[in-house]
Each structure stands twice: as C-alpha cells, then as structure tokens.
Amino acid sequence: MLHVPKLKTTKEIMKTSSRFKQFLTQATSCRYSSNTSEYLHKSNLPTYHFQNCLPRLPIPKLEDTISRYMRSLKALKGHPDVDEAAIMETQRAVNAFMKFEGPAIHEVLVAENAKNSGTSYITKPWFDMYLESRLPLPLNYNPYLTYKRDPIERMNEQVTRSTNLIISAMKFKKTLEAEILSPEVFYMNDKAKSPFIQTSVKYLPNQLMLRYLPMVMSQAYPLDMSQFKNLFSSTRIPQTGKDVLETYKDSRHIIVIRNGHFYKVNTINTDGSIVDPLKLKSCLNRIQADRRSPPEHSVAYLTTTDRDIWADTRSHLLQSGNEQSLLDVDSAIFCLVLDDSTDVETPEKSAETFLYGDGASRWFDKSFSLIVAGNGDTALNFEHAWGDGVAVMRFFNDVFSDSTTHPSISHDTPLHDGDLSEFIQQVEFNVDEKTKERITQAKAGYDKATGSLRVAAGQFDKMNKKYLKKKKVSPDGIMQLAIQVGHHKFCGHPAPTYESCSTSAFKHGRTETIRSCTLEAQEAARAIVEGSSGLVNKLKDDADYRSKVDDLIRRSCNRHNELTKEAAMGTGFDRHMFGLRHTAEKVIGREIPAIFRDSCYTTMNQIVLSTSTLSSPAVTIGGFAPVIPDGFGVGYGVKDEMLGCNITSYDVRDVSSLVEAIMTSLDDIHTVLEG
C-alpha cells in the first residue's frame, strides 16, 4: 500500500532556494528519447500527466497584501509624485479600505475562486485585460527573442535554416499533440529523474495530488502546461470591445510572408505525416526567388493598428470576398517571415527587424511568427494574450536543439524541380478603396510609432553568473540593483519597477510582479551613487565604508530573493490587488474603491522600468518596447561569460545614457565586491 505523507501548506511544499524563480527558463525535462523523423522524442510520462494535480494559485491574506503594498510604495519616496504627504494620504485610503469595503471584497473574491476550482482566480481577469485592450499589438505587447546562429555557418543560409526550423517545429507539434512531449518540470536535482520515481509516478492515479507529491518530495516541480494548447494554429481575432482567441486544430499549413506577399505552404500531409523537407525547401526557394514589388496596400498593416479599427475593417474585408484568405492566415500553424535584412547584428537593427519590422510583412495577431533574416539570423515574435514564456521558451529551446543537431536538410541539398502546386499557393486579398484608406492610415500611424523607438545595449565583462555565485550574491539581484543604481544616476530618484516572475508552478498560473525598487535597493543605490566619484579610494582608505556598502548590496540582494520567492509562490501583492479591483468593479458592480483611485496607486502602476530576463543557451538577445510613453523596456541577461542589457525607449528619453549609467553602476558594484 502506498503511503502518502500529509500535505502541508503549498508554501511549505514549494519553499526552495532563489533558483526557483528561474524555473521558466531553466526547466528541463526527463526524456526517454528515440529520435525519429516525425517526433522529437517519446516521453515515458504523458505530456499533461501532472496538469490536473497542480496546486491552485493561492489568494494571499488581505492584510499581507496591503502590508507589502505599503512597503513597496515607501521605497518610491523621492519620486516627484511620492513624498511624505502622498504616502500619508495613501495610508489613510488603505486604513479606510481595511476597515470598510476591503474585507467584504476579499471575501467575494475568495468565494468566486472556490466556485471555479479548475482554474486560478487571476486567469479570466488576466485574459480579459489583454483582450479588452484596444492598443495596437506591436510595441505595446509583442516581444521578440533571437536565436543563436546555427553552429555550422553554411546552415544559416536563409532557406536552409527556415526549412530546418519548420521541420523541427512540426516535430514538436506532432510530439505535443500525441502527448508524448515530456512534461514541463523544474528539477532542483536529478533525484526525480530516476527510473524508479518516473515509473512510480507514471502509474499513480490522477487524483488527490498523488502524482504530484513524489515529485515535490524529490524537489521536482511540475509546471502548468495549459498554454501549450494555444501555441499552434492559434490567432487573436479583433472584435469591437474585446478580441477573442481562436484555434484551428485541423490546420496543416503555415503562412509564409515575404515582401508583403502571402503564401500558404502545406507542412503536414493529409495522412498526418510531415511534408518532405526537400519539397518544403523548394517551396521556400521559389518564394525567395519571387522578385515582385511589394503590394501598395498590404492588409498586414491592419494588424498594427487600434483593435476596434482593425475589427471594423476586418468585418468589411469579410464582406468584400476575403473570407478564405483571412481563414488561411488565421488558421495557419504559425507565420514564417522571410525578411531581406542582412544587417541585424546591432541592437538597433535587431529590434528594427524582429520587434516590429516592415508592417507589410508581419501578421502580429498570430500566436507567434518565426522571422528569418537574409543572413539567417532568426527570431520569434509572439502575441502575449494567449500565454507567457512557458510554452514559448520550451518550443524555442527544443526547436533550436533539434534543428541544429538533427537537421532535415543541408545547405547543398538539391531542389525539387517538379510540380509543387499541392504544397504552395499564393494568398490574395481583395482591397477596395475603403480598405486602402484604412491601410494608408494604419501605415502612417505604425511608421510614426516605430520611428520614435530608440534602442541601446551594454555588455559588462568583469562579472558573470559564476563570479556572482562565487561572491555569494544573487545574479538576478545584482542586475536589478544595477538598474536601480543606474536610474538614480540618470534621474536622481527611484522609479516604479516591474520584473516578471512566472507562477506556472500553479494550475493556470500566469505571472506575478517582483517590485525590484525596494527600500534596501534604494539605500544601497544612494550609498553607491554618493560615493561613486571616489569609490575606489574610499574603499581603500575606509574599511568601515567598504563593509557598509558591501552589506547594503547583500541586503538588497537578499530582499530581492525574498520578493522572488513570494512572487513565485503566488504571494506577491500586485495580482491580488488586481483581483480585488476586478471583483469590486466587475463582480460586485460597485464604484472603484478609493485605494485604487489614489494618486500613489496610479504612480506605482505607471511602470517606468519594465524589466524581464530569460536565460537560455539558445537565446542571444531579446527585447520589448516600454509600457508607458516615458518609460524603458529593460531586457537583460546574466550569462556564463558576461552581464548585459538591451533597453528600449521612445525618443522623449535618452536610452543610451541610461545604459551607460547601468554599466558604470555594475562597475561600482564590482569594485565593492572586489573590496
């Protein structure tokens, strides 16, 4: 008889080191692989083996959330809109909320959560937030990630690399749909990968968390995989007021876009097998050889505009005889963009090609697009409503690995010179005068928005992941501190800061916010900024000063680790407050409570420093635009060889100066750590 230990609180089970925050990009899977032409591998455990066993996202205690909120707010003191008087006013609003409507709203939130036991309290409101937004998708939502180049340089020829990526993507798709893709699991060690644990877990019943417990007891954490079902053949359909997500399970084709022209290319045969790579390469070669001028009015520009405008124009397109063409695009497994750009090595050119690019040759509504530049550099640009980084990064990593280690063709594979009509056809759109006018307007707005984006990047070689671990400080904590110090140097005050943290350890978990602008980080930042001009001499001459600054850096990192754990365990304050506001407004139907109309609450949610990091051996760089007009989009990486950042802003801010300030801040921190 199987002995099942008593399950304590989720927090106790999931309490781990700070490495847990990185499960999104470090998660590995125990695979029992047999490399075949049709599948990536065959997992011993079914893909969704743990899905129904995952714990539910907890709702924090109301008093804990309010306490965390106020502590985070106090760290912003010194911001132009956050002084002592403003904080006191917020405290009064908080006290009133806790005394009057807050507990009742919280009770309703908890009750509604209990009614929906198959999901999380944040899932529907979070989907609605994305889908109800009327902002254009490019710059506002869609990020990008660039692949490392194929290590065999000749395999980076555009058509060759595209073919190998597509075939590997089809293998991933078939492996996922056959449910033999290994489950997404964050392994703290190799214990849970043992044949005994894997076999035992395989035959445990799907109830009472029986499959989940042996994994957790072995320090392996199964992750939510619900987003994987929207990875392929999925698109966001514009509708007035609120968009919808649609998936097309029987799709057998991709859409290839080049120079504003659209092509439907079959990648799955009618019998379910993957098309012959030779014929696929030949199709792509013919598309690449198509030298027609781009269309004067590309329908693709409509995906770059306001969602209500696009919804109205789409309805007109449907009435104008474009049903099949739109269906071909909407139902495509994904989009492949063959871009003519060859100079994509600088951060500016990388963003220009992969973050937004030529609006005539992008379809931002698709779940994701692979963009292959003329020199073979490749990136993935994805729509954000359907999911976060969990499914995207698994796909990204597995496809890179398979396409580079088991390529389906070579650069010198001869082309198929026969009839390819059953594999490729051009997609045409009927564009009347009304649609042409809308496209012209969309293009003008898109060119203006993208033309104002600025990009700068920096690399710091004196520190890396190994160095920081040797110094016993959190690598992520150090990068976040450097961003805070850099902003202090740049602006002279703290800024509302967002760092994304996945909550995929819970059923239907999305993300939680790490508020990296902490009291501890600000104290360390002030000490470093005040002493930076003569830091080296001060450290040499004043042992007490050296000890003080070193201690402040470590306290900042420790606090960041605490916030990271809270966020990963679903006990941050941002999503809970979002849920409370949604419950008051949409469920109860009452006026928005004063706590959410408070000036400091507004300031805290005007995110100046929107930050995110992904650590993957397949990624070279990634990026996204700022979330407010005068903010910064801070992508950063902590790698084995260096630390770096890739930052965007609009032309109202000097992004190059911020990057320079962050680089000098890293140098200051390095000086302190070196003593």
Q: At what angle do helices 323-330 and 307-319 cross, to 10 degrees?
A: 130
Catalytic residue among 3, 41, 106, 384: 384
Three-class SS string for 120-137? Answer: CCCHHHHHHHHHHCCCCC
What is the C-alpha separation between 277 and 415, in angstroms, rounded? 10
Tokens of 310: 């696009």
CA distance 263 to 283: 10
CB atoms under 10 Å from CB of 503, counted, come to 26
- DSSP tag of 56: B
Dig out the tokens for 231 from the structure.
């990875």
Strand positions, DSSP E, 383-520: 424-427, 453-460, 497-502, 511-514
The CA-CA-CA angle for residues 544, 547, 549, to 5°, reads 110
Joined together, the tokens standing for residue 416 give 């198929």
Among 463, 529, 473, CA closest to 661: 529
Residue 110: exposure state from Cβ atoms within 10 A (0-12, 13-18, ≥19): middle
Report d(CA 303, CA 588) in Å as an integer: 35
Burial class (CB in 10 A: 0-12, 13-18, 19+), 382: buried
> Torsion angle, CA of 583/587/593/595, rounded to 10 degrees?
10
The tokens of 188 are what? Answer: 């703290």
Long-range Cβ contact pairs of 417-423 (< 8 A, separation 24 or more): 417/282, 420/279, 420/282, 420/283, 420/286, 422/266, 423/265, 423/266, 423/275, 423/279, 423/280, 423/283
Give the sheet arrangement for strand 619-623, strand by strand: 424-427, 261-266, 253-258, 335-338, 368-372, 378-382, 144-147, 619-623
Sign of CA dihedral 101, 107, 111, 114: positive
**Residue owning tokens 């239907």:** 508
Question: What b/e sequence results for 323-340 when a residue is b if at least 16 CB atoms lie within 10 Å of its CB, and e otherwise?
Answer: eebbebbbbbbbbbbbbe
Please confirm, yes or no, whether 384 is among the known catalytic residues.
Answer: yes
Q: DSSP letter for 468, please.
A: H
Q: Answer whether 396's CB lies under 8 Å from 378's CB.
A: no
Length of the chain: 675
- Kindly give the pairing relationship between strand 144-147 and strand 378-382: antiparallel
What is the sign, positive or negative, of the torsion defined by CA atoms of 268, 273, 276, 277? positive
Tokens 């700068």 — which residue?
456
**Buried-state track 154-183, b at ≥16 Cβ within 10 A, e below 16:** ebbbbbbbbbbbbbbbbbbbbbbeeebbbb
Active site residues: 384
